[in-house]
Amino acid sequence: MNHRLCVAAVLMTLSLSAGAQVLTAKVSGGQLQGVAANGAGVFKGIPFAAPPTGDLRWKKPQPAASWQGVRAATAFAPSCMQDPMMLQVQQAPPGASEDCLYLNVWTPAASARERLPVMVWIYGGGFAIGTTAAQVYDGKRLTEKGVVVVSVAYRVGSFGFLAHPELSRESGKGSGNYGVQDMIAGLQWVKDNIAAFGGDPGNVTIFGESAGGIAVSMLAASPYAKGLFQKVISESGGSFAPSRREAEGGELVPTLAAAEAMGQQFLGKLGAANIAAARALPAEKILAAQGAGLASGFWPTDDGDVLPGDQYVLYSAGRFNDTPVLIGTNSDEGALFIQGGVTSAAFEQQIRAGYGEHADALLAAYPHATDALAVEAAQDVFRDSAFAWPTWAWARLQSAKGKGAAYVYYFDHRTPQRPNGAWHADEIPHVFGNLGLGFAAPGVPSAPAPSAADTAMSELISTYFTNFAKSGDPNGAGLPRWPAFSEQNQQVMFLDAKSSARPVPNMPQLAAFEKYFAWRREHAH
């Protein structure tokens, strides 16, 4: 009998511990009810701002309305307006809407009294697409390492980044950065409410990939985001080139004047005489006018306010939100974007068109004598101009001008599908522990079952990232030593078959881009 009582007591204890999760939370808008999922409490579709519809289209986010009673937080909200085919590619539900400013929380906390580190995910997608509902972004596996995970939606395409003289006059502070302001509103919500989920509002790490990685670097330079996070992780991101005035190579963030001119053209395309007329149009008409896929052309704007200027210059002057940073790139990033069709002559013409008097130096740094070499060169120019040079610049500026340490990685996990190196976004399933998930066009075969090497890499990178979120240092027992980056000791952590710290790869190419961007900066005014 005693034996049976003992077994019953053990079973009772197990069932109680399994149920000891935060499943209800009182937040600024009211009461929430989440669901349990394998030891975590999961809350989806929490409003953090009012629907940016009608007169709120192309305005900074406004406070969300409160609700009565208990709100079920059990399903993702619709994604922000974007090409519906791109939601399929992201393996996300098909629904998109302008009413999209919602966030999601995964928490391993047993009670709201815990103060666990918080990681806030900002999705990528070229600022044209993106969703918190992609399967690969599910935060459950990361919570097993003792962190609360939040994912925040933000407006994309013309809905998030249309600048226009009329909108600038309306705000009195420039225009074109509603998507970035959405992120800031989401982070403010986290600061105000995450303690209800067992999270520590004073230990928040923002992390993102691609446009999301670029966005977190922008948040690191925006005065409006000051104090809303204590650490930054950027995967294939960084925004350190001068602002774009025309079609300068490697420059992505437009000046306010360039963005406003594009906005005026866009209103003409819509047949709208003014902003009021454009706000009266259905969202579908605006989406159709901006183009399919990633072709919207809209990007955050150097408005002098939310984004107060060239980040290289801001960092050089010590004007940024100083935190530890963990940043890096993938070895074969450009292969996702350029998959052939580049001739030697076309490559040379493209470089000469975009890079002015520095074209010869760049052409010398990227061998392109044959068409096969030209494809590789085009891929590598994409990798280095968009991702690797900004990351290297960021690491040098942070380590020289900030108190927070910089840790840099180079993800080079090779597989039978990726024999030449890791493509753009290949690290995301490893970071989240969601191997086998990712992005694929309809009809593309699903990823093969994860290998032992894939699983080991996922364990390594997710442990580094969560260690960093906890303490500002990725290092821990049993892990290859990852030294902080400095100008004098430019070591990066190679994440590959023999992960270890080594010198920065592709230095001649990065040095050529360093000279190019310095020249552009000198002639920016």
Tokens coding 237: 């991101």
Specify the DSSP element, H or E, that contains 215: helix 211-219
Residue pair 143/43 in contact (Cβ under 8 Å)? The answer is no
What 3-state DSSP class applies to 260? helix
Give the integer Cα–Cα distance in Å for 318 and 328: 22
Tell which residue, 329, 150, 305, has the closest CA to residue 229: 150
Q: Which residues are catalytic?
A: 210, 333, 424
Residue pair 60/181 in contact (Cβ under 8 Å)? The answer is yes
Tell which residue, 137, 185, 184, 155, has the closest CA to residue 81: 155
> Phi, psi at residue 9, to the nearest 5°?
-65, -40
Tell which residue, 132, 56, 85, has the closest CA to residue 288: 85
Specify the DSSP element, H or E, that contains 47: strand 40-47
Angle at which helices 211-219 and 178-193 cross, to 10°: 70
> Phi, psi at residue 43, to the nearest 5°?
-125, 120
Give the integer Cα–Cα distance in Å for 269 and 156: 19
Give the integer Cα–Cα distance in Å for 340 and 371: 9
Q: Which residues are CB-contacts of 413 (< 8 A; sequence separation ≥ 6)? A: 422, 426, 427, 430, 453, 454, 457, 495, 496, 497
Tokens coding 131: 């969703």
In the sheet with 24-27, reading across from the earlier edge strand, the strands are: 24-27, 30-33, 70-72
Give the integer Cα–Cα distance in Å for 470 and 452: 27
Facing residues of 491 across strands? 503
Query: How does strand 199-209 pair with strand 116-122?
Result: parallel
Tokens coding 52: 């940016």
Half-sphere exposure of 60 (CA within 13 A, CB side): 17
Give, in degrees to the nearest 5, the angle at Cα 442 between 143 and 82: 70
CB neighbours of residue 450 within 10 Å: 16
